[in-house]
Structure 1
Amino acid sequence: MKSKVILTLTGLLFSFSLFAQNCGANLSLFSESAKVKNYDNAYTHYKKIIEVCPKESLVTYQYGAKMFEHFIENAETEEDKVKYVEKFIENQNMRLEHFPNKTKKAKVLSDIAKVKYKNKIGTLEERLEAFEAIVEEDADNFVDPVALYAYFRIANTLNDNGERDIQFLFDKYDEVIGLIETQENKKATQVQPLIEKEQNQEDLTSREKKIMKNSEIYLRNYNKIKGSVNSLLGSKADCENLIPMYNKDFEAKKGDVQWLKNAASRLFAKECTDDPIFFKVVEAQNDLKPSAKTALYLGRLAQKNGNMSKALDYYNQSAELEDKPADKARVYYNIAETYKNKGSFSSARSYYRKALSQKPSMGVVYLRIAEMYAKSANNCGNTTFEKRGVYWLAADYANRAGRVDPSLKSTASATAESYRGRAPQKSDIFQEGMAGKTISYSCWIGESVKVPNF
């Protein structure tokens, strides 16, 4: 009896060893074939791996995705294409199932949504649902610029086809722009300390350089996608279309807080604030449910009427009530602009910085601070050299604008170059013996600048 047990255990161990060897062999053969893009041969081994040992290696699904993308691209019939799309989706779902800790859910869902979109799998509504699943399941990691654009494009097509109304499109626009701005802020937050380190003439590590490069690539791509999304929306959101639409629906909707909120937001975003419908919508919304938005809109109306004190009160009230970082940043920016136009530069900078704390990718803020510094050059510093040194600070801030917001790159570069042209030149630095020294400013600027060491 004892001998039979030993023989049985030995057999099991042998079978397990053989099983493990077969898995390893198939994985090796699959990987080698996939590396050289011999996908027909790779597929033979892939099928054995996912049937017998699907948890063997993440490589199975990484190469598997590339393999099925190849098959989809080269499918000779629509039937084959659909079959391989289904296999691709199955591959991605298995990766998520067997390697959840090494797989971002949003990445997998984005891959699935994009392959359906690109190959026109299912109805438009079904393709839309694939992208909506990303938002529902893992919105924080919805980072793919191409997927974000495809998501809005489907919504726009549904509206063009008359299958969804204009409010649906506006809602999707707000959602997609919000997702893009969330990712922009993450990337801008990553690069902000590195930009400061670089401008302080400190060397970046190789890792920091890689972070800087990748973040700036993403920021450029997000900027392009925002432009494309805005182009798709186009004239659908212009005042000439919004004003008659909201005028027509106002009487029926004036007791609907959500409708009033959406209408006011859209009219404000498109600068349709001169038309009486804007005031009617805001007033009705404020009567039903005062909010950060109504305070902001009332502040804008007070400012247009020349009552700056009242406008600032409304703006500050709005900032306190607002809970969305991007919207709070816009309120702070409005307050800063008001102070700047009054010549209260210190107060303006305080609110500009508050705006940046909420939305680090708001590059225009850096340009505004640079402008105020440049205008203060004659009032800061004890010597002509020190006064002109303020322009280095202004140039630094202008440069930051283009780093966090690629749409401002050319403007920021030209502005920074202009400021540097007004700062002390190489001969001035040599003559004053200031190379590498630090100038501190005790005026409202309250910062220091390191003189270039040529």
Structure 2
Amino acid sequence: MKTKFIALVTGALLGSGVLSAQSNDCPTMAALAYDDAKAKNYDAAYQPLLEVMENCPDYSLATYQYLERVLQDKIDNASADAQKNEYINELISVWEKRLELYPEKTSKGKVYGDIAQLKYDNEIGTKEELYNAYDRAYTEDSENFTSAKGLYAYFDLMVEMQDTGERELQDVFDIYDRVMAKIEEEENDAAEDLAPLIEKQEAGEELTSKEDTQIKYAEINLNNYNMVKNALNAKLGARADCDNLIPLYEKDFEERKSDVDWLQNANARLSAKDCTEDPLFFQVSEALHQLEPSANSAFSLGQLAEADGDRAKALEYYNEAAELEEDPSDQARIYYRIASNYKERGSFGQARTYYRRAIQARPSMGTAYLQIANMIAQSANNCGDTPFNKRAVYWLAADYAARAGRVDPSISSNANQAAASYRGRAPQKSEVFQAGRSAGEAIQIGCWIGETVRIPQM
């Protein structure tokens, strides 16, 4: 009897020890699995990480971060489609579980975008299903749906469905506008981050390693978004030309001429594609301005006045449009148009004011910097007080041209050529020496320019 009692007590104690060990096992299991994952020993880390997620789901965010790496590796190296699809489904479950347990440290837009991209890259689902996956990322968290590749796929799927008759042409335009607006928003953010760092470089200040990295990633992002914009426009192709747009809107005009939203859409599309000579454009613009005076309708009436040769009236409408416009990219476009009007008339000071307003509204508008550079270069002979200082004006023109290419990769080739040309006209190293000047010395430029340029290191 005594022996039996001891056995029962021993068993109870051992059982209690096992339970205790199990309850304290998460840190041990996780530590071992994390070490293997850190060392990229993914095969060894795989099962232990799954066990940690299964038995201790809320132990640490690191579980899901390491599992993502492990499963990405397994997907990349899977030899059979069935096995690959199994890993894909596991990775999607990991992302969804992370979003459920760590919502404050996980972005819906990124998770849903990554899920959509994973399915898209591996051709899982119909075009409709894939489109809906990207649409979920955009509609539920557009702020964090920033992948250049994902944004392109989102639009591309809509185009393919329109090609097969599953969607209307207007649907393509709607998604194009949505995606292009998002890309321009991301471009502006990147250019805004880049601008003070460029100014610091141009002033000859040394950048920290963190700032060097910030420049690198800002420029990478600007390049990626520029490539997507080019691809979007190529994909849209002839769908958006006047031959398609005019019949599209003409057939619905009488029925929709009291619909402000429809008129705004038609007006913006026709204006953007310069379909301004067709009578439909005047009908749409006039109807819109009567119903609800807006930036779009004022801008369109400005275009019509400009086409009629009434430049003063055109500027009046353009300024009204700029004041009414709330979208920064569209406001920049209007300011650019006003600036170009002043530039054509030789009013460089006024033109620069409006080019700068365009840049303020849209920091990635490199063409505005390039236009300022051009005006400065044209004024070299008028804005310097000595032969040396006249040619020094070209250094300032070169700075503006170089900045244009950095904030807008789509014009980098032309901008860099312009910058090189301007530097070639500026004083060379021997001339700086002969004039008794030195690198870093500030030169004040007069007339409408009113800026300071520093002699560069050569």
TM-score (norm: length of structure 2): 0.92
Q: Tell whether 2:92 aligns with 1:66.
A: no
Q: How does 1:21-420 map to 2 (within 5 A)?
A: 21-35=24-38, 39-73=42-76, 80-420=83-423
Provide the secondary structure at the position in 2 that maps to 1:49: helix
Deviation at 1:370, TM superposition (A): 0.3
Deviation at 1:264, TM superposition (A): 1.4
| Aligned equivalents of 1:438, 1:13: Cα separation in 2 | 80
Provide the secondary structure at the position in 2 that maps to 1:398: helix
| Aligned equivalents of 1:238, 1:282: Cα separation in 2 | 19
| Aligned equivalents of 1:76, 1:25: Cα separation in 2 | 32
Provide the secondary structure at the position in 2 that maps to 1:148: helix
Taking structure 1 as reference, are residues 377 and 51 closer, same or farther at Cα in structure 2, changes over 3 Å only? same
Match of residue 443 from structure 2: 439
Q: How does 1:411-430 map to 2 (within 5 A)?
A: 411-430=414-433
| Aligned equivalents of 1:390, 1:27: Cα separation in 2 | 64
Deviation at 1:78, TM superposition (A): 5.4
Aligned residue type for 1:446 = G
| Aligned equivalents of 2:79, 2:255: Cα separation in 1 | 55
Taking structure 1 as reference, are residues 194 and 17 closer, same or farther at Cα in structure 2, changes over 3 Å only? farther
| Aligned equivalents of 1:379, 1:13: Cα separation in 2 | 93
Aligned residue type for 1:444 = W
Taking structure 1 as reference, are residues 379 and 24 closer, same or farther at Cα in structure 2, changes over 3 Å only? same
Question: How well do the aligned residues superpose, as a CA RMSD in angstroms?
Answer: 2.2
Question: Higher mean Cα deviation, 93-102 or 284-293?
Answer: 93-102
| Aligned equivalents of 2:79, 2:437: Cα separation in 1 | 72
| Aligned equivalents of 1:219, 1:404: Cα separation in 2 | 7
Aligned residue type for 1:132 = D
Question: Higher mean Cα deviation, 425-434 or 129-138?
Answer: 129-138
| Aligned equivalents of 1:218, 1:43: Cα separation in 2 | 33
Taking structure 1 as reference, are residues 274 and 34 closer, same or farther at Cα in structure 2, changes over 3 Å only? same
Question: Higher mean Cα deviation, 427-436 or 341-350?
Answer: 427-436
| Aligned equivalents of 2:77, 2:430: Cα separation in 1 | 64
| Aligned equivalents of 1:345, 1:265: Cα separation in 2 | 29
Deviation at 1:73, TM superposition (A): 4.4
Provide the secondary structure at the position in 2 that maps to 1:360: coil
Taking structure 1 as reference, are residues 452 and 15 closer, same or farther at Cα in structure 2, changes over 3 Å only? same
Q: Identity of aligned pairs, percent?
A: 51
Aligned residue type for 2:307 = K
| Aligned equivalents of 2:169, 2:368: Cα separation in 1 | 33
Aligned residue type for 1:191 = L
Aligned length: 446
Taking structure 1 as reference, are residues 209 and 263 closer, same or farther at Cα in structure 2, changes over 3 Å only? same
Structure 2: which 5+ residue stretches go unaligned?
1-12
Deviation at 1:35, TM superposition (A): 4.7
Match of residue 6 from structure 1: none
Deviation at 1:374, TM superposition (A): 0.6
